[in-house]
Amino acid sequence: MKFLIVANDEKDIDLSFSLELSSYLREHGQETEVLKNAQEQPGLSADICLVCGGDGTMLRTAKIFGERIPMLGINLGTVGFLTEVERENVHAALDRLVAGEYSVEKRMMISGTVGNTQSLALNDIVVTRAGFSRIIGLNIYVNDQLLDTYEADGVIIATPTGSTGYSLSAGGPIVSPRAHVIVVTPISPHSLSAKSIVYDASEKIRVEIVKKRKTQDTEAIVSFDGEPGIPLSVGDSVTAEISSHAVSFVKLYDTSFYTILREKLI
């Protein structure tokens, strides 16, 4: 079996942790390759990708390897909701992998389109105010039908995986990662009626930037999984829908999603 080990060099500064994992696996007859940060490597293949870092490292790695190589996160950060293994339990986890005692779980992704640019998100697509804009105007369309106009700091379009991230902190619901839905949550809306809404994954969501005041220029940005944002102006739109791409997560234990919620969030 071949293991790809992706190391976050900000959390594993000298790669000592990742290299120790590589040594341990090689001692147990496995093939390994250590990669400093997630970066595309044409032709690179492996049976399992070990991601050493936190949730941000998992998100970056998912876009590059997550569709073709099942990922297992090893938490070197804080909460690490996407990471299943803590560093103190890593050798026991590796033993289970070598023994084949694991399963693979698929997670849906969403595809976002801005003009001629298209990108994927495992967690969320966030449209938010930028520059000196205060609150911004956002028309929300569902299947090209206008649903509502938000006056808010922005809006979050989240997957079930992303429902425990920024969307949750903005008041959105927690959704089981097995669900196929899209969650749309306004950020600090200036209306008591503006609420988070859960849509079926077959729905297409479009967010249009609209002018709120005649005397105020509206500036916004859109970000995919926390990556550097793309500038938006009045009239620009962001369209989000379920992607044909899916990410594979390695599951070592039968621990339920709800047990993880209790341990990490409550």
Active site residue 14: no
- Which residue, among 74, 106, 50, has the nearest Cα to 247 in the 3D structure? 106
Q: Is 182 exposed, middle or buried (0-12, 13-18, 19+ CB in 10 A)?
A: buried
**What is the distance, to the nearest Å, from the Cα of residue 266 to the centroid of all Cα atoms in its chain?**
21
> Which entry of 14, 47, 55, 95 is annotated as an active-site residue?
55
Single-letter code of the amino acid located at 1: M
E strands along 115-168, which residues?
A: 117-121, 124-129, 136-142, 145-152, 154-158
Asked whether the CA dihedral 11, 33, 124, 82 is positive or negative, the reply is: negative
* Overall residue count recorded for the chain in this entry: 266
Interatomic CA distance for residues 62 and 165, integer angstroms: 16
Find the radius of gyration of the CA atoms of the chain.
20
Interatomic CA distance for residues 83 and 139, integer angstroms: 35
Helix (H, G, I), strand (E, B) or coil at 50: strand
List of residues 6+ apart from 152 with CB closer than 8 A: 135, 136, 138, 186, 187, 188, 189, 190, 194
* Cβ atoms of 170 and 183 closer than 8 Å: no
Q: Give catalytic residues, as residue numbers.
A: 55
